[in-house]
Amino acid sequence: MNAGGHSEPKTREAFPVEVVRQFRRQALAIRRTLRNIGPHEWCRVDFDAEALIGVFASLSLRPGYRLLTYFYHSNGNGNGVVVAFPEESDAYRVLASVSAGTPISWPPTEDAPMGPMEVIESDGSALAYLSASLLMRELREVGAEWHGVDWEEREVMAPTRTYLAGRSRTAKHNQSLQNLVDELEWPQDKPAIESLAPEVRFDDQVVQVVLHTFTEMGRQHVTRWTDVYTDSYAPACESEEVAVGGSGFVF
């Protein structure tokens, strides 16, 4: 992958809701194995962040690297951070030797040479790039509780290849999505719902993953996420609110 890009990708591939939902269900089940077992301070926790990578068959952790997970919990709120280290580094040996639950002043991100997505490898397929964009957000949500939650409250808008016809689960999903799109206010032209599907766009020099999510957090709104991949699986991320609706909820 190299820097740069064009306005029109040479190839693109869209993905249906079933693919996204299966990945998210499996990842959520793994994230929920992290329980509130620590002090009300930052501490290392025994959480298998590599199991999250294992949800995505087209991705793997680069050999020679390990992940550590840190967690903060206070009055029902929670946040976590996953950091990556060369397995043979002094920093990893020292930090991995600290017992889980031992309070620390702050997650040692300054000692981690790379974030976890920077040590991800893949088979280079369109599914791998979609997987990387989902994995990145699942890793950010590790340890999230109450006010720390964000990604879990966002529904990926993913109309399937079967459009609106019929009474199947696929058609019902698309019909509900069409109703939602019709109810929202779109500052620009209202899109056709098939254009909202998760899409991976390739050209000669860059790969983009485009997702649309809907949430009622704060207020009803749709966000377009554009992840730009150049020389690693840690993308540059852009977001834009593209539609709004009525009032939502707050935690």
* Phi/psi at 82 (5° precision): -110, 130
Kindly report which listed range (8-12, 67-71, 117-121, 167-171) carries the lowest average pLDDT score.
167-171
Question: What percent of the chain is modeled with pLDDT above 70?
Answer: 92
Q: How distant, in Å, are the alpha carbons of 154, 196, 244 from that of 159?
A: 15, 7, 19
Q: Which ranges constitute the DSSP H helices of the chain?
A: 17-31, 49-54, 90-96, 126-140, 169-183
Check residue 246 and give its pLDDT: 92
What DSSP designation does 100 have?
T
Q: What is the mean pLDDT of residues 236-248?
A: 95
Note if the pTM is more than 0.85.
Answer: yes
Most confident of 59-63, 143-147, 247-251: 59-63
Give the chain's length: 251
